[in-house]
Amino acid sequence: MTSSPKDRRYTKEHEWARLGDGEAMVGITDFAQEQLGDLVYFDLPEPGAQVRQHAKLGEVESVKAVSEIYAPLSGEVIEVNQKAMDSPELVNQDPYGEGWLLKVRPADASEMDSLLSAEDYDALVATAEGGQH
């Protein structure tokens, strides 16, 4: 497992958020896309919708299963990545770049502090991979 980018923070449910100028980009992690397999569909809120940290943000469908996506931050959705909606394979190919999902205007940027650092997230993934029950 390569290490996750350090310019953003992570949830235990395998989403990431990267804070920019008054907005945050949100996506799913490389581990998430690898586990889900080929992605085929996203069900995400429209711009203008309010999302709450750790509450259900939407759904992602892969050839294997449908999974829930949780919001890493609270705030208002300001943009949905239409390119990724039209070509879900972008999220498989480049989950941290071209394959971002949403832009959110954060209600409280300090919520970022409650998320995992790249090191902590990588440690979490290492146990998930090794820890089959």
In the complex, the residues that contact other proteins under the rule CB under 8 A are 37-41, 61, 63-65, 87-89, 132-133
66 in helix, strand or coil? Answer: strand
Rounded Cα distance between 73 and 92, Å, is 22
Adjacency order of strands within the sheet including 75-80: 9-10, 15-19, 24-28, 102-106, 75-80, 50-51
**Least Å distance between CB 42 and other proteins?**
11
Residues 6+ apart with CB under 8 A from 92: 33, 38, 39, 99
Cβ nearer to other proteins, comparing 119 with 129: 129
Cβ nearer to other proteins, comparing 2 with 132: 132
Cβ nearer to other proteins, comparing 70 with 76: 70
Question: What is the distance in angstroms between the CA of the first residue and the CA of the last residue of the chain?
Answer: 20
**Least Å distance between CB 46 and other proteins?**
21
**Least Å distance between CB 81 and other proteins?**
16
Cβ nearer to other proteins, comparing 37 with 47: 37
**Least Å distance between CB 120 and other proteins?**
22
> Which runs of consecutive H residues, i.e. helices, occur in the chain?
30-36, 82-86, 89-93, 118-130
